[in-house]
Amino acid sequence: MSQTIATPPTVRLDTDVIGRPVSRPEGPAKVSGAAKYAAEFSVTGPLWYGYIVSSPIAKGKITKIYADEVLAIPGVQQVFSHENVPSLAWFDRSYKDQVAPGGSPFRPLHEPEIQFSQQPVAMVVAETFELARYAASVLRIEYDVDEFNTDLKAAASKSFDAPKGKTGFLPPPKPKGDMDAAYADAPHKVSGEYTHRAQMANPMEMFGTTIDWLGDGKKMKIYDKTQGAPNVQQYLTKIFGLSKEEARIISRFTGGGFGAGLRPQYQVFMAVLAALELEHSIRVVMDRSQMFSMGHRPHTIQNLRLAADDKGHLQALEHTALAETSQFEEETETVVNWSGIMYNSPNSKFDYQLTRIDVNTPADMRAPGAATGSFAIESAIDEMAYAAGVDPLDFRLLNYTYEDPTENKPFSSKRLDACYHEGAARFGWEQRTPEPRSMRDGNMLVGWGMAAGCWDASTQKAAAKAILHADGTLVVNSATNDQGAGTYVIMTQVAAQTLGLPMAQVKFNLGDTEFPEAPIQGGSWTANSVGTAVQNACQEVGKKLLKLAQDMDDSPLKGVDFEDVQFANGCLRANEDVSRSVAITDILAASGEAKIEADGKAGPNPANLLKYSMHSHNAVFVEVKVDEDLGTVHVTRVVDAVAAGRILNPKTARSQVLGGVVWGISMALMEEAYLNNDLGRYVNHNYAEYHIPVNADIKKIDVIFVEEEDHIASAIGVKGVGEVGMLGVAAAICNAVYHATGKRVRELPLTIDKLL
Amino acid sequence: MSLHFTQEALDKTPPTIVPTQPVTLNVNGEDHTIQIAPWTSLLDALREYMDLTGTKKGCDHGQCGACTVLVDGKRINSCLALATVYQGKQIQTIEGLGSEDNLSPLQQAFVDHDAFQCGYCTPGQICSAQGLINEGRCKTEDEVREHLSGNLCRCGAYTNILSAVMEVLHDGQVVVDNGTLVTIPAQPSASSSVN
């Protein structure tokens, strides 16, 4: 090799797009109204509409449905209820989706029994939406009402250990030392009960399904709002005995999910039922009140006891939780474990119990379990720091752990310390005066608070297919999802960089069960899992390209191994001498191939799982201003410093964290699905009375990504950002309110009445 | 307990179903004649009868703003509007502000600032922001935040939405008609003389 290297490998190449803040390729479709969501697809032939009728009672039995009255209205096609649903799959297992918890899944329209308020009891199908809605409103139904209980505290005596079985659920860590003795002996101790009520994911797009009845046997195109098309397909094929070809699920755009779309929702069941029975295209959309009838973040009561020595070292840590579940399933979250992962205490005890009330089964909602747990532990740590007379940031640094105390394994990476330092510097934490009520801005009390969080970095099984065409365009397909997380853009980046093509030449498709299977979008695992599968598929195409390049006459790449080549700026070239280069389109032209295809897969690495504890981390710093007379709390400034491994796209990753902070503010100050225990019903089931932030509620949010890359957690170095940004925000706000006012509020949402 | 409960019809005496009738709506400069019942909302007329699905339904109760459209330049919640009432008016939807290949400056600013995630509230946010610009009252960040607070975003893209709108609404200039910059005359209020 006599040539000097024309382009040193350190020079950033045009097609090295990973890590750049590029805009979403689907952005123009979203801002112009061209992006089609589930309830917006046209069908072949006329479309009928289904409108769902919900139960007004929490428990009992339907005794009569006056369907005839409604069927007499011209244009009404059918009224579906338990009275006329055909016999479907018999066993519970057919109704279990990929993320179903233990128990017996709810079967829509299966029987006259009512198990929760707003349970769907019927669906009216009519020729127009207006008619279906009207007919549903005049359908008379009679019920026998049974006694019910929706009060978690009233059911507390019947609590039981949360059963194992749900994917991803970790039972509480084992106890260490002698918690009670250590607590009794320690000089500084705190204890408290921390509560939040049920919260609803409430994505902007209501759950809906459009079915295009293709008139070819039972073949349907099912446009569904979901976070995982393959999960919906699996559910429907098992229940209705359909083939995958008959039940094709398409979900190109998902108008938010936040967990609500992990499990198939009942509107897709009802739409398929109606399409099959009527052999007709149909659209079924929930209304906003019905969005409160599905899974919710469970009402949870947590108790913490902490003790520390005079230097501020934790001596005792106890975290217990009691959460609601339904009468028929056991929804479990990992709630108490986070305390044990974040803080090392020689004496510790954990417990997590469920109890049954007459509501629908709760569900995973953004940062499930961790949002709950981090609110309690991070509030308690603040209280402990104050009790021990140590600055809350110093207290966390004093009790920092470099290995996961719950599993006695090292972390694959942990740069929480960098989050603390960089976040504190950006926020200006050192200017804080520690005494409550010591900072003011005019008539406003100013409070500065902080907290931290951690979330799993996990990889699931995923697959992708890459197809490189002769003109140099690359198409990559995977049945994954983009509920707004940025899947479209990061997968386009990964594919483009892997094969050295401009992003404009790469098209990533998702949300179609004709594509290779991918997991539901949840758990912050899409980037790790699907990203690795996409990279692998593109690398396989690359290997085929190298072989074809080496078959070319006078190939400059003869004898070069795949490890020694790079794909950049549309060329395949040798690392050691980039002048030994062939344009990718030239390789395809010389080969005569119209396209090159390859599959790629990803999955968890069992060896790494055994050896390491893999988590993303964050530290949050918050400023609140509290009007002393009115009790109003304004979050005026937030710094969220995140260590989430390699950041594929700082623009969209930042948006994820911004959203997480808004969710944290919402959880802290606003969200509560108000359960009226006399009615057994969430009574604020609309957007006006279920409060979430509006633009005026959100002020300055600063996002920091600390430098981190973790190739143990995933092949592409990523740990995921969907959940971690939200963690600790609610606690940091409560801690800031304490700093501002001297009042500890341990019950969310922190509304005015709790401060006055 | 053997309580018996009847879920009564919300409307005890079912009215005669009023027949559908032709209604002509001018949307994005084009007349569309559709056959609808009088109780059809403008939102449903657009989405279900004209295939203009860029306008979104988030609540159907005027609580979320996802259905915002411009009528004679003013923003309204199309879910709270009966379609027939809007005959003879100029209705502008997100599809009329710009297309995928030819975005309006506001649409482009939303893309550049990543002012959305799932994208479902976005058409309403943009129509509302365009209405805000047309109104010509808001200048400061606080004013824009307040006047965009009728549009919920569950993904929490508010700070980026603000950045996108402020970029288009800067130096007292506003963009109208897909790109023309027009200077708004200074407001004669005391507060606007500061800064």
pLDDT at B176 over 60: no
Q: How close, in Å, is residue B33 to chain A by CA atoms?
A: 17
pLDDT score at A304: 98
Confidence of residue A756 (pLDDT cuts 50, 70, 90): confident
Say whether B59 and A23 touch across the interface (CB within 8 A): no
pLDDT at A299 over 60: yes
Task: Classify A418 as helix, strand or coil.
Answer: helix
Nearest CB partner across the interface for A144, out of B4, B123, B152: B4
pLDDT score at A522: 94
pLDDT score at A537: 98
pLDDT at B29 over 50: yes
Number of other CB atoms surrounding residue A63 within 10 Å:
13
Task: Classify A239 as helix, strand or coil.
Answer: helix
Compute the average pLDDT of residues B56-69: 98
Q: Distance between CA atoms of B53 and B63, rounded to whole angstroms?
A: 19
Say whether A140 and B9 touch across the interface (CB within 8 A): yes
Burial class (CB in 10 A: 0-12, 13-18, 19+), A403: middle
Q: Distance between CA atoms of A253 and A205, rounded to whole angstroms?
A: 10
pLDDT at A357 over 50: yes
Q: Distance between CA atoms of A323 and B45, rounded to whole angstroms?
A: 44
Q: How close, in Å, is residue A125 to chain B by CA atoms?
A: 16
Residue A556 — φ and ψ, nearest 5°?
A: -75, -5
Q: Report the CATH fold assignment for A369-458+607-668+704-756.
A: Aldehyde Oxidoreductase; domain 4 (3.30.365)
What would you measure as the largest C-alpha separation in chain A, in angstroms? 91
| Bridge partner list, A306 | A190, A317
Burial class (CB in 10 A: 0-12, 13-18, 19+), A367: buried
Residue B182 — φ and ψ, nearest 5°?
A: -125, 135
Q: For a pLDDT cut of 90, what percent of chain A falls above it?
A: 96
Nearest CB partner across the interface for A256, out of B52, B63, B155: B155
Say whether A205 and B58 touch across the interface (CB within 8 A): yes
Nearest CB partner across the interface for A695, out of B39, B107, B145: B145
Q: How close, in Å, is residue B178 to chain A by CA atoms?
A: 13
Question: Is the whole model's pTM more than 0.90, yes or no?
Answer: yes
Q: How close, in Å, is residue B138 to chain A by CA atoms?
A: 13
Taking the Cβ of residue B72 and every Cβ of chain A, the question of whether any pair is shorter than 8 Å is answered with: no
pLDDT score at B1: 45
pLDDT digit string, tens, across residues A611-658: 999 999 999 999 999 999 999 999 999 999 999 999 999 999 999 999
Nearest CB partner across the interface for B117, out of A128, A484, A700: A484
| Bridge partner list, B22 | B35
Taking the Cβ of residue B136 and every Cβ of chain A, the question of whether any pair is shorter than 8 Å is answered with: no
pLDDT digit string, tens, across residues A403-459: 999 999 999 999 999 999 999 999 999 999 999 999 999 999 999 999 999 999 999
pLDDT score at B195: 32
Mean pLDDT estimate for chain A: 96
| Cβ pair A673, A292 in contact under 8 A | yes
pLDDT score at B190: 40
Q: Where do the structural domains in chain B lie, given as residue ranges?
A: 21-183
Residue corresponding to tokens 């098992």: A238
| Cβ pair A365, A299 in contact under 8 A | no
pLDDT score at A14: 81
Chain B residue closest to A725 (CA)? B156
Taking the Cβ of residue B192 and every Cβ of chain A, the question of whether any pair is shorter than 8 Å is answered with: no
Taking the Cβ of residue B126 and every Cβ of chain A, the question of whether any pair is shorter than 8 Å is answered with: yes
Asked which of A418-422, B111-115, B181-185 is least confident by mean pLDDT, the reply is B181-185
Compute the average pLDDT of residues A30-57: 97
Chain B residue closest to A283 (CA)? B48
pLDDT score at B180: 55
pLDDT score at A347: 98
> Counting one residue from A and one from B, how many pairs have CB atoms under 8 Å apart?
239
pLDDT digit string, tens, across residues A253-296: 999 999 999 999 999 999 999 999 999 999 999 999 999 999 99
Taking the Cβ of residue B61 and every Cβ of chain A, the question of whether any pair is shorter than 8 Å is answered with: yes
| Exposure letters A718-747 (e unless 16+ CB within 10 A, then b) | bbbbbbbbbbbbbbbbbbbbbbbbebbbbe
pLDDT at B193 over 50: no
Which residues in chain A have Cβ-Cβ distances shorter than 8 Å to B77? none
Q: Distance between CA atoms of B56 and B46, rounded to whole angstroms?
A: 10
Compute the average pLDDT of residues B45-59: 98
Which residues are CB-contacts of A70 (< 8 A; sequence separation ≥ 6)?
A76, A79, A124, A135, A138, A139
What 8-state DSSP symbol labels residue A40? G
pLDDT score at B121: 98
Is position A422 annotated as part of the catalytic site? no
Length of chain A (residues): 756
Q: Report the CATH fold assignment for B21-183.
A: Ubiquitin-like (UB roll) (3.10.20)
pLDDT score at A588: 97
| Cβ pair A137, B9 in contact under 8 A | yes
pLDDT score at B174: 53
pLDDT digit string, tens, across residues B118-173: 999 999 999 999 999 999 999 899 999 999 999 999 999 999 999 999 999 985 55
Q: Distance between CA atoms of A695 and A744, rounded to whole angstroms?
A: 27
Residue (of A662, A232, A235) closest to A481 by Cα position: A232
Q: Where do the structural domains in chain A lie, given as residue ranges?
A: 3-32+459-603, 369-458+607-668+704-756
Nearest CB partner across the interface for A32, out of B56, B64, B103: B103
Q: Distance between CA atoms of B195 and B189, rounded to whole angstroms?
A: 13
Chain A residue closest to B101 (CA)? A28
Task: Classify A200 as helix, strand or coil.
Answer: coil
Burial class (CB in 10 A: 0-12, 13-18, 19+), A346: middle
Q: How close, in Å, is residue A455 to chain B by CA atoms?
A: 19
pLDDT digit string, tens, across residues A184-218: 999 999 999 999 999 999 999 999 999 999 999 99
Provide ipTM, 2 decimals: 0.96
pLDDT digit string, tens, across residues A153-178: 999 999 999 998 888 899 999 999 99
What 8-state DSSP symbol labels residue A156? G
What is the sign, positive or negative, of the torsion defined by CA atoms of A277, A283, A287, A293?
A: positive
Say whether A203 and B154 touch across the interface (CB within 8 A): yes
pLDDT score at B3: 73
Write down the catalytic residue from A127, A422, A723, A747. A723
Domain A369-458+607-668+704-756 in the same topology as domain A3-32+459-603: yes
Number of other CB atoms surrounding residue A93 within 10 Å:
10
Tokens of A744: 């500890």
pLDDT score at A2: 41
pLDDT at A116 over 80: yes
Say whether A204 and B152 touch across the interface (CB within 8 A): yes
Distance from the Cα of residue A457 to its chain's centroid? 13
Say whether A688 and B122 touch across the interface (CB within 8 A): no
Residue (of A294, A359, A298) closest to A114 by Cα position: A359
Which residues are CB-contacts of B154 (< 8 A; sequence separation ≥ 6)?
A202, A203, A204, A256, A258, A692, B118, B121
Taking the Cβ of residue B77 and every Cβ of chain A, the question of whether any pair is shorter than 8 Å is answered with: no
The residue among A20, A26, A32, A225 with the most chain B CBs within 10 A of its CB, best to mutate, is A32
Nearest CB partner across the interface for B152, out of A53, A60, A692: A692
Residue (of A325, A345, A326) closest to A335 by Cα position: A325
How do strand A141-145 and strand B3-7 relate by DSSP bridges? antiparallel
Tokens of A649: 């796209």
Nearest CB partner across the interface for B146, out of A285, A654, A696: A696
pLDDT digit string, tens, across residues A570-601: 999 999 999 999 999 999 999 999 999 999 99
Q: Distance between CA atoms of A690 and A200, rounded to whole angstroms?
A: 9
pLDDT score at B187: 47
Q: Distance between CA atoms of A227 and A697, rounded to whole angstroms?
A: 28
| Cβ pair A639, A702 in contact under 8 A | yes
Residue (of A304, A302, A303, A309) closest to A387 by Cα position: A309
Q: Distance between CA atoms of A518 and A497, rounded to whole angstroms?
A: 21
Taking the Cβ of residue B194 and every Cβ of chain A, the question of whether any pair is shorter than 8 Å is answered with: no
Q: How close, in Å, is residue A384 to chain B by CA atoms?
A: 32
Which residues in chain A have Cβ-Cβ distances shorter than 8 Å to B64? 204, 687
Compute the average pLDDT of residues A545-573: 96
Say whether B120 and A204 touch across the interface (CB within 8 A): yes
Chain B residue closest to A699 (CA)? B159
**Which CATH number does the domain A3-32+459-603 belong to among 3.40.1410.10, 3.40.190.10, 3.30.365.10, 3.30.200.20?**
3.30.365.10
Mean pLDDT estimate for chain B: 88
Tokens of A17: 């797009």
pLDDT score at A4: 41
Which residues in chain B have Cβ-Cβ distances shorter than 8 Å to A285? 57
Chain B residue closest to A662 (CA)? B156
Say whether B53 and A287 touch across the interface (CB within 8 A): no
pLDDT score at B185: 53
Which residues in chain A have Cβ-Cβ distances shorter than 8 Å to B144? 695
pLDDT at B100 over 60: yes
Cis peptide leading into A749, omega within 30 of 0?
Answer: yes
Question: In degrees, to the nearest 5, what angle opens at C-alpha A488 toward C-alphas A485 and A489?
Answer: 90
Q: How close, in Å, is residue A321 to chain B by CA atoms?
A: 28
> What angle, rounded to 10 degrees, do the helices at A370-388 and A650-669 form?
70
Q: How close, in Å, is residue B34 to chain A by CA atoms?
A: 13
